[in-house]
């Protein structure tokens, strides 16, 4: 699989230098170089945050070729299909987020997403999430299909998402087609702002455990209940004419918003 978008700027050149220092050739490693360039695009005053530096280090530690990306997508599709089949009810909606929705998936990437379930099935959905989130494959964070405002806010917080048809997960090559569509819509590298990085670290850090995220979602503490109410309000307002445009613009200033409806592939 070849990349669909490439900007031959300083970030691209710096990524190539880092790879060369580690003996990784540019030939057949364009996807990897583009991923590293994406991480480097988040430098502030020449420095990366710990989060983005960790991504650079992980990418360089496990080199992969362009030809390995397609089979990885196929494997993630199989993993996702197995998870969907194990859920207590078939999700009404499934959104993929993370590296897949950003168009920077590599041969070592996992697959993150959200599944909208019946309210009575969310608890078992969390059991599935906790079971699979620490693996190197796919996992789905459960959401109640009766909470559209809260769900919309979570997708806006993620910044990028693509809705898929879970009924087509048994179709060979389905996620490859979706990913091609994602890459065609990729319009920039930079994903997050410094304030967003700070907020993510304080409120929903990458180091938070699956159990911690579950407790926050379920509103186990006053802080989590307040945060959930704010998210629900923001997500609801985002769907209101005129006001929603302002909310979405503010969100885009924090984290670049790229949300694709179910691609017709």
pLDDT of residue 231: 87
How far, in Å, CA of 130 to CA of 140, rounded?
A: 9
Q: Which 3-state string (H, E, C) describes the chain?
A: CCCCCCCCCHHHHHHHHHHHHCCCCCCCCHHHHHHHHHHHCCCECCECCHHHHHHHHHHHHCCCCHHHHHHHHHHHHHHHHHHHHHCCCCCCEEEECHHHHHCCCCCCCCEEEEEEECHHHHHHHHHHHHHHCCCCCEEEEEEECCCHHHHHHHHHHHCEEEEECHHHCCCCCHHHHHHHHHHHCCCCCCCECHHHHHHHHHHCCCCCCHHHHHHHHCCCCHHHHHHHHHHHHHHHHCCCCCHHHHHHHHHHHHECCEEECCCCC
* Domain ranges, ordered by start, for the chain: 10-63, 69-260
Residue 24 has pLDDT above 90, yes or no: yes
pLDDT of residue 264: 87
pLDDT of residue 202: 61
pLDDT of residue 226: 86
- Specify the higher pLDDT residue, 254 or 82: 82
Residue 213 has pLDDT above 70, yes or no: yes
Lowest mean pLDDT, pick from 88-92, 97-101, 122-126, 261-265 = 261-265
Q: What is the mean pLDDT of residues 102-128?
A: 96
- Specify the higher pLDDT residue, 171 or 8: 171
- Specify the higher pLDDT residue, 232 or 178: 178
Q: Is the dihedral of CA 206, 207, 209, 215 positive or negative?
A: negative
pLDDT of residue 7: 77
Most confident residue range from 19-33, 181-195, 212-226: 19-33
pLDDT category, 201, cuts 50, 70, 90?
A: low
Q: What is the pTM of this model?
A: 0.90
Q: What is the mean pLDDT of the chain?
A: 90
For the segment 236-261, what is each residue's pLDDT rounded down to a tens digit?
999 999 999 999 999 898 889 999 99
Pull the structure tokens for residue 87: 């859920």
Lowest mean pLDDT, pick from 30-34, 50-54, 98-102 = 50-54
Q: What is the mean pLDDT of residues 115-139?
A: 93
Q: What is the mean pLDDT of residues 143-149?
A: 94
Residue 207 has pLDDT above 90, yes or no: no
């Amino acid at each position: 699989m070849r990349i669909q978008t490439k900007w031959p700027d300083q970030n691209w050149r710096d990524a190539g230098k880092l790879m060369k220092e580690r003996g990784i050739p540019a030939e057949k490693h364009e996807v990897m170089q583009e991923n590293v360039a994406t991480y480097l695009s988040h430098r502030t005053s020449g420095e990366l945050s710990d989060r983005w530096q960790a991504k650079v280090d992980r990418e360089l530690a496990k080199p992969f070729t362009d030809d390995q990306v397609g089979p990885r997508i196929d494997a993630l599709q199989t993993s996702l299909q197995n998870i969907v089949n194990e859920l207590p009810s078939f999700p009404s909606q499934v959104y993929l987020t993370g590296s897949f929705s950003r168009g920077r998936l590599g041969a070592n990437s996992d697959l993150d997403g959200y599944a909208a379930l019946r309210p009575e099935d969310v608890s078992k959905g969390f059991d599935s999430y906790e079971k699979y989130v620490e693996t190197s494959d796919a996992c789905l964070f459960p959401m109640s299909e009766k909470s559209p405002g809260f769900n919309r806010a979570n997708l806006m917080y993620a910044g990028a998402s693509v809705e898929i048809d879970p009924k087509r997960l048994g179709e060979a090559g389905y996620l490859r087609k979706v990913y091609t569509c994602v890459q065609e819509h990729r319009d920039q590298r930079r994903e997050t702002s410094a304030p967003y990085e700070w907020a993510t670290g304080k409120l929903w850090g990458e180091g938070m455990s699956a159990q911690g995220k579950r407790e926050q979602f379920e509103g186990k503490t006053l802080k989590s209940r307040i945060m959930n109410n704010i998210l629900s309000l923001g997500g609801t307002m985002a769907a209101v004419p005129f006001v929603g445009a302002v909310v979405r613009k503010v969100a885009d200033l924090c984290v670049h918003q790229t949300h694709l409806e179910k691609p017709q592939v």
